[in-house]
Structure 1
């Protein structure tokens, strides 16, 4: 087991706590049309005043780093707003969101992002570094959305790494939908979110350099598919959503399927959601609270 986060390094990385940035954007209809098509939805064309569906704010406030600022993994080079963590593998581990007011096409919006914490743990395969980022999204009327975003950094894979035991997905699901997470779907979502991370589209890189068996399905895409499943079964507004990635989901070079599932409680106000891979293993779990 190799540790690369010593006490001095951790203290240095924790100086990023409290770091903040402000980004501004305009909610425009074109990304909404594109994501609707990517999710295989038959939505009416968005116009000024159309409500932004939950999680679709991830189409905005996109990083626009210059090409010379991109690192070997396709992300921006370490440093800047996020700390320069010396661990090569970076994943979106989960998040918690709460909607306070609607966002709409035509809104001028601002996102204030703050690094809340930088914490270290020792896992079975070495160091784990967790960065918690809090986002607050405002339109001209005030605060509309709060989001806590969990990022985890991990060491490079080694042949001797222990493999975590998978967890079986629940057997009962009132709602479910099967999706083919092929490389075209992954490419379209990467393009929509201006995400250059090579683990989602460069099969040689993800297998040879990061040691995964195939392209990795974006965590935010799976979360979006879970919320999309909910939206296909109820028109009630989502007040909060919490999700956690438990196991990587890989693209279906061999026609694997991703299944998204939902189980509402007795009054339909709280929805348990999860994703499972082609072997029935749980890959993401989530909870949504409805208005």
Structure 2
């Protein structure tokens, strides 16, 4: 709690400082802000996030997705036993290790402030990232063992036109089991220096508050922007229409109070979107599970994925999860998600290897 309180104090201090700085020319403010934010955020000491790797969250996520993709998500009728533990499925780490902060440490949009650059960048979106999966021998087991996520902000960039800058915060995350009573500093150093552990890098985009004159008006940039053309001739294609119930369940499983997934009035009137947004991490989970299910049938597994979120997806609008071989020589795959009109929403590259590797 002390670490989180310290983060909040630094954010408030930076907010006061940035307000004064932004009253100068935008170009100078942008340059100063990038240097200052990179220095402050990359030196920010994030708290360790502990969890117990029980099968229940994974079981509930599989149940929640089973009606949408019954061929992929086949949930057992009863909760799996920790005495016969299963490996953590690809992407399911996203529903463990939630941000463990009280409501007072949430921002107005419902997100936690752990990675926040401070005002005026108060609107958060998931921009993309990459994940490295260890060999099955090193993969996490759902056996109830205590585990930890060690996070570090590795980079900060300010992009966008003058007056409409966005802050992109890149976070390195590493996951490992931990012994009960292990010293936190020993844990941090051990996990940061471990090579064969589940590793994720994610980039969050922080947008400026919408100007008062734009509140209650549609976000035209998201609605009328030109569609990015999707790749052609997918070998794998599954189409679903996400519901509000699915978004609520995923928010609950990830302990995520982000209002763009839950509060339709806020999403329309404050953020300017036409409806509730589909979760970025849920998009990643779907890509990973659909492709890994196919790969298992041909004796391969996902080793690494790099992906980028290009356009938003919305509740009760059709989306399609697609994939095809990109480079047959090294079994690299192209994976993507299309929106309701065929435009590209998520695009990824996946490297695979034999299951026995």
Verify: 1:30 aligned to 2:83, yes or no.
no
What is the CA–CA distance in structure 2 between the aligned matches of 1:109 and 1:82, rounded to whole Å? 25
What is the CA–CA distance in structure 2 between the aligned matches of 1:3 and 1:63, rounded to whole Å? 33
| Cα displacement string for residues 225-256 of structure 1 (whole angstroms, at most 9, x for unaligned residues) | 1112113312122111111000011111xxx2
Verify: 1:186 aligned to 2:229, yes or no.
no
Q: Aligned match of 1:246 in 310, 320, 343?
A: 310
Q: How well do the aligned residues superpose, as a CA RMSD in angstroms?
A: 2.4
Verify: 1:155 aligned to 2:197, yes or no.
no
Instruction: Report the equivalent of 2:104.
Output: 68
Q: 1:154 to 1:242 in 2, by over 3 A?
A: same
What is the CA–CA distance in structure 1 between the aligned matches of 2:206 and 2:315, rounded to whole Å? 21
Q: Aligned match of 1:42 in 51, 74, 99?
A: 74
What is the CA–CA distance in structure 2 between the aligned matches of 1:126 and 1:25, rounded to whole Å? 38
Instruction: Report the equivalent of 1:131.
Output: 169
Shift of 1:10: 3.4
For the 8 Å contact 1:178–1:258, the answer to whether it is kept is: yes
Where is the strand percentage greater, Structure 1 or Structure 2? 1
Q: 1:43 to 1:289 in 2, by over 3 A?
A: farther
What is the CA–CA distance in structure 2 between the aligned matches of 1:165 and 1:128, rounded to whole Å? 20
For the 8 Å contact 1:156–1:211, the answer to whether it is kept is: no
Q: Which has the larger radius of gyration?
A: 2
Verify: 1:109 aligned to 2:171, yes or no.
no
Please report the TM-score for the alignment, with normalisation by the length of structure 2: 0.74
Q: How many residues align?
A: 285
What is the CA–CA distance in structure 2 between the aligned matches of 1:46 and 1:282, rounded to whole Å? 37
Instruction: Report the equivalent of 2:341.
Output: 279
For the 8 Å contact 1:27–1:104, the answer to whether it is kept is: yes
Shift of 1:161: 6.1
Where is the helix percentage greater, Structure 1 or Structure 2? 2
Q: Aligned match of 1:58 in 94, 97, 100?
A: 94
Instruction: Report the equivalent of 1:222.
Output: 283
Please report the TM-score for the alignment, with normalisation by the length of structure 1: 0.89
SS in 2 for 1:33: helix
What is the CA–CA distance in structure 2 between the aligned matches of 1:230 and 1:172, rounded to whole Å? 16
Shift of 1:208: 0.0
| Cα displacement string for residues 121-170 of structure 1 (whole angstroms, at most 9, x for unaligned residues) | 12488101110110111225954211111011112454696554221212
Shift of 1:27: 0.6
Instruction: Report the equivalent of 2:128.
Output: 94
For the 8 Å contact 1:225–1:260, the answer to whether it is kept is: yes
